Amino acid sequence: MAAGIDDIAIYVPELYVDTNDFAKARDVDIDKLQKGLGIYQMAMVDNNQDPACLAANAALKIMKRNDISPGDVGRLYISTESSFDESKAMNAYIIGMLEQIYGDGTFAHCGGVETKFACVSGSYALYDNVNWIRAGEADGSYALVVVSDIAKYELGSSGEMTQGAGAVAMLLNDTPRLLSFDPRVTATSIRDEYDFYRPFGKDTPIVHGQYSNILYLIQVRKALELYKEKVLSTGLIKLRSDETILDHIDYLNMHLPYSAMGRKALAYLVRHEWRQLPRWRGIVERMGMEEPLPDDAPGTIEAMLKDPDFIKKDGAFNHRLMETPEFVDIYEKKLASSLVASRMIGNLYTASLYLGFRSSLEYEHRKGIDLAGKRVGFGSYGSGSSAMVFSGVILDRYKEVLKNMHFQSDIEKRRKLTLEEYEMLHRGQMPVSEAILPGAEGFVLSDVDKTNGERSYVYNP
């Protein structure tokens, strides 16, 4: 049975910080933010917003747009790493908000949980729900998977320049219009790590950013290896001797803690895949620099961790590779469109990969390319750490869904924050009644009870 994404909707909060202002305030070179990391604006939540109301806004948008009633939704899953409750799952909060619109008890049948594994948990939630549909358990109903996060780092930390906030809702069913997932090829890699984590009671994570970036590359490469084994053994893809798996994936979507990380990850995957091909020797010769390969574990990123000098040389090689016409070609054709939205919104943790997918669809469609039949690969990473690599094929009816996508109108109503306002919001000391945009459209918090922590939400039409 087919199963996949029927529609995808994003919710972006209406406030943002401009990196020109941020760079001045923190005395950071603007080129580091815009050229080095690829960040121009970072979406921020108001005093009266939390990840549950971002998620409920995305869920309501997709339900209204498709004229879906609660009875049509069999499961509602939420994936987040910005959870504010150790026990009550966030999908219960979302159902509470949606029932303000659709009526008390209208979602009573709708099962679901909150899933957690840093930025990769949304991919696990998608996979589980796709398999629920494939197993015939959905009985024609939809699964609604919502990924929602507030990427918040300590003031003055190096992670502060990679913040953002927002939610993506994905409607899954057995007759999808947008994308059908390839069966029996999803691959994972996992290992106990401390690259990024948020112990109980802390509202910002402890981050070893550079280490986390390297683990991201390692884990995605490992998952890609397993994905390759699976696509070959299932016969989904047949490789000629002068081809790699990347030749059979039309679009790649990578996890984007900041947009430039997507390009960097593509460069590592390209090196790994092209190294054994005849074309690689010519590329390296034209680059005028030999690829640094450690003696003990040739070609693996793991070996880099042992040697800081090696990391520098490896980074220099990567930068040079990214300037070659061969890399520019694969980057422009397969990845660049997925980075557009991330530059203007920033890090969305669980939602970053899917914001990238949504961005790729819209901006590739705008080029006038017929997307039907194109294979889309996903490289999902979550700290702690696990990666998931999977793929799907864009379906003939995709244009029915794409006609609703207009990223510029999703962000055009936003208001720029001053640095003082941003820092005040970041410290989180203001009551929810003192929002910067009190009448902002959609679900917002109306109260957080000081004695028992209970949250109340209202809907602003």
Q: Which residues bind ligand COA (CB under 6 A)?
A: 29, 31-32, 35-37, 119, 158-159, 161-162, 196, 207, 209-210, 212-213, 216, 257-258, 264, 315, 381, 383
The rounded distance, in Å, linking the Cα atoms of 425 and 436 is 9
Amino acid at 55: A
Give the nearer residue to ligand COA in terms of CB position, either 251 or 381. Answer: 381
Q: Could you tell me the CA-to-CA distances from 54 to 84, 163, 224 in Å, in that order? A: 13, 16, 32
Taking the complex as a whole, how short is the minimal distance between the CB of residue 264 and ligand COA, in angstroms? 5
Buried b (16+ CB within 10 A) or exposed e, 311-332: bebbeebbebbbebebbeebbe
How far apart are CB 196 and ligand COA at their closest, in Å? 4
Using CA of residue 27, residue 28, residue 34, residue 35, what is the dihedral sign? positive
Q: How far is the CB of 148 from ligand COA (least distance, A)?
A: 16
Phi-psi region of 299 (alpha: psi -120 to 50; beta: other; left: phi over 0): left
Closer of 45 and 161 to ligand COA (Cβ): 161
Question: Which C-beta is closer to ligand COA: that of 28 or that of 448?
Answer: 28
Angle at which helix 259-274 crosses helix 209-233, to 10 degrees, equals 50
Comparing CB distances to ligand COA, the nearer of 29 and 396 is 29
Which residue has tokens 């009985």? 139
H helical segments located in 405-446 = 407-411, 419-427
The helix-helix angle for 51-65 and 90-102 (nearest 10°) equals: 50
Please say which residue, 158 or 433, places its beta carbon nearer to ligand COA.
Answer: 158
Residue 142 CB, shortest distance to ligand COA, in Å, is 30
Q: Nearest approach, Cβ of 120 to ligand COA (angstroms)?
A: 10
Smallest gap, in angstroms, from Cβ of residue 352 to ligand COA? 9
Nearer to ligand COA, 75 or 221 (CB): 221
